[in-house]
Amino acid sequence: MARLQPLIDGGRLENIVDLLSLLSDLVDLLDEAMVEKLALLFEQATASGWAATNTLRLARAETMAQAKSPSLYTLLKLLNDRDTRKGVAIVLKTLNVIGRQL
């Protein structure tokens, strides 16, 4: 009891009880289905981050491999590329959906 007295006097014992209550609630919520959902969400987030990082790394490497900076005409010609148009369409559609949700 002597060790608990400083916690009681400082009002910190309530915080410890609240933390234990939160942990107890968390254990009750974490059934097998919830763990599977969280694992799938983590896996999807990791895969998305990995793909974005690899894409950025590849684009940077290809751009740095060029001897000189691309001209404005070269950049405009790049817009005529089918893959570039698909990428721009994805970015614009993503912004469209974000705007709708606001």
Tokens of 12: 């910190």
CA distance 98 to 93: 9
Going from the C-alpha of 21 to that of each of 5, 13, 69, the distances in angstroms are 21, 12, 60
Give the pLDDT score at 27: 82
pLDDT in tens, 42-80: 999 999 999 999 999 998 998 889 888 888 998 899 889
Q: Is the pLDDT of residue 86 over 90?
A: yes
Say whether pTM exceeds 0.85.
no
List the chain domain ranges: 1-30, 31-65, 68-102
